[in-house]
């Protein structure tokens, strides 16, 4: 069983999950962006701009900073230039779940005449509100962290994401449960939030389709601290598997309560719980043997480059999705950009989107190819940028 790099052992920040699905659906915002020209024209020697829409302040600044810094590292890894033009990362604070702020950022970025594309918005609420602005402006935008499934179901031409969809993660969990773990029954617990409920619903569908049976479905409340009642109910039923869908601290508290109640079966949780600090450190011995799904984590080479550049360790796995988003965008620009007679670089907006959708890109999170909706293609965890981990000896170890 291979071990993850020491980078993950030092992982202390929580994996943000408000950017996955933890927000209610927000009405898509009308846009005041004028009809864009059919092509992006960048004057001779002028920089090619890549926007980053992420939380650069507030509660989710750790993830936002990771996403922005990873985007910058991707530019550095590309050599800092493209076709003789310097590459410039333009960071803007969308505050994650602030719909109005995300729309304001989208409108501002859309006015950048040398803008090749945008990495973000970071979170579901911002994406729901701002995606239509980018679409009207014909700006390619690639979401590295928002996993809510219906974001890609609007028929938008310029929407892409390197993150997985929620139901894909649930299907990976269900396949592992019925296959490798060989269980046919499970108790399902969610935390009552949109993210947890969506994953729980998707897990139920996938698990039952694979021949499993949800023995009971329980719920814990966000912000609660006493999880002993649900733990006693689970212990009484003694299922072979408990699947928790939701966020920390509720995920960790649920497992600790199960451990204290004497439950000895298997425990599974999603990327919302995948954190060394908030799960392994906080949960202590109770976490040993727990199975979690989540994103791929940086290898030592990436971790070293990141640390050397920013004098800190990255705190979340979504750094790789952000790096991949920039790298895929730059590969598409390289493929479609043409040089005008005056030395300007001309990038056809429609052709750029078509190139992103048709190209196959070897990313740090795995092979990346987008489907007609802009979602990642793939049927395996590796193809979707997902991994399955087991806690052993106080760290996450990859099992697939």
**pLDDT score of 233:** 95
pLDDT of 58 = 86
Domains and CATH numbers, the chain: 15-165+299-368 (3.40.50.2300), 167-295+386-398 (3.40.50.2300)
Sign of CA dihedral 309, 311, 316, 317: positive
Low-confidence ranges of the chain (pLDDT < 50): 1-18, 21-26, 30-32
At a CB cut-off of 8 Å and minimum separation 6, what does 220 contact?
189, 190, 191, 192, 227, 230, 246, 250, 253, 254
Q: Are strands 241-245 and 213-219 parallel, antiparallel or unpaired?
A: unpaired
Predicted confidence at residue 268, as pLDDT, reads: 98
- Chain-centroid distance of CA 125 in Å reads 14
Residue recorded with tokens 């410039």: 88
Report CA Rg, the chain: 21
3-state secondary structure of 36: coil
DSSP secondary-structure letter at 277?
I
Secondary structure in 3-state letters for 211-270: CCEEEEEEECCCCCCCCHHHHHHHHHHCCCEEEEECCCCHHHHHHHHHHHHCCCCEEEEC
Is the CB of residue 325 less than 8 Å from the CB of residue 119? yes
Alpha carbons 21 and 9: distance in angstroms, whole number? 26
Predicted pLDDT at 33: 53
Contact 92, 53 (CB under 8 A): yes
How do residues 235-285 score in pLDDT, each as one tens digit? Answer: 999 999 999 999 889 999 999 999 999 999 999 999 888 888 789 999 999
Give the pLDDT score at 7.
38
Show the CA angle centred on residue 263, arms to residues 261 and 264, nearest 5°. Answer: 145
Q: Which token pair is 264? A: 């000895």
């Amino acid at each position: 069983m291979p071990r993850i790099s020491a980078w993950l052992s030092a992982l202390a920040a929580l994996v943000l999950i408000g950017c996955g699905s933890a927000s209610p659906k927000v009405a898509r915002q009308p846009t005041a962006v004028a009809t864009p020209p059919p092509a992006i024209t960048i004057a001779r020697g002028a920089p090619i701009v890549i926007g980053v829409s992420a939380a650069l302040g507030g509660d989710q600044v750790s993830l936002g900073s990771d996403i922005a810094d990873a985007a910058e590292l991707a530019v550095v890894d590309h050599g800092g230039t493209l076709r003789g033009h310097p590459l410039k990362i333009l960071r803007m604070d969308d505050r994650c779940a602030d719909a109005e702020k995300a729309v304001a950022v989208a409108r501002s970025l859309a006015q950048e005449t040398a803008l090749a594309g945008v990495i973000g918005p970071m979170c579901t609420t911002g994406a729901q509100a701002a995606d239509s602005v980018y679409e009207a402006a014909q700006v390619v935008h690639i979401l590295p962290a928002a996993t809510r499934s219906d974001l890609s179901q609007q028929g938008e031409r310029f929407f892409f994401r390197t993150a997985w969809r929620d139901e894909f993660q649930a299907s990976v969990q269900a396949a592992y449960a019925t296959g490798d773990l060989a269980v046919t029954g499970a108790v399902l617990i969610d935390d009552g939030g949109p993210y947890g409920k969506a994953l729980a619903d998707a897990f139920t569908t996938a698990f039952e389709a694979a021949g499993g049976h949800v023995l009971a479905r329980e719920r814990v409340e966000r912000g609660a601290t006493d999880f002993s009642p649900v733990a006693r109910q689970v212990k009484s039923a003694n299922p072979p598997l408990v699947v928790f869908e939701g966020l920390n601290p509720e995920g960790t508290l649920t497992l600790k309560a199960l451990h204290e109640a004497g439950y000895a079966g298997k425990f599974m949780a999603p990327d919302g719980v995948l954190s060394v600090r908030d799960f392994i450190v906080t949960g202590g011995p109770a976490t040993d043997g727990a199975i979690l799904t989540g994103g791929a984590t940086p290898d030592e080479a990436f971790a070293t480059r990141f640390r050397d550049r920013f004098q800190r360790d990255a705190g979340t796995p979504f750094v790789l999705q952000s790096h991949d988003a920039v790298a895929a965008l730059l590969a598409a620009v390289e493929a479609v950009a043409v040089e005008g007679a005056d030395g300007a670089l001309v990038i056809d907006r429609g052709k750029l989107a078509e190139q992103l959708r048709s190209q196959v890109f070897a990313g740090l999170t795995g092979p990346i190819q987008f489907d007609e909706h802009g979602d990642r293609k793939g049927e395996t965890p590796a193809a979707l940028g997902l991994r399955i981990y087991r806690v052993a000896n106080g760290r996450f170890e990859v099992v697939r």
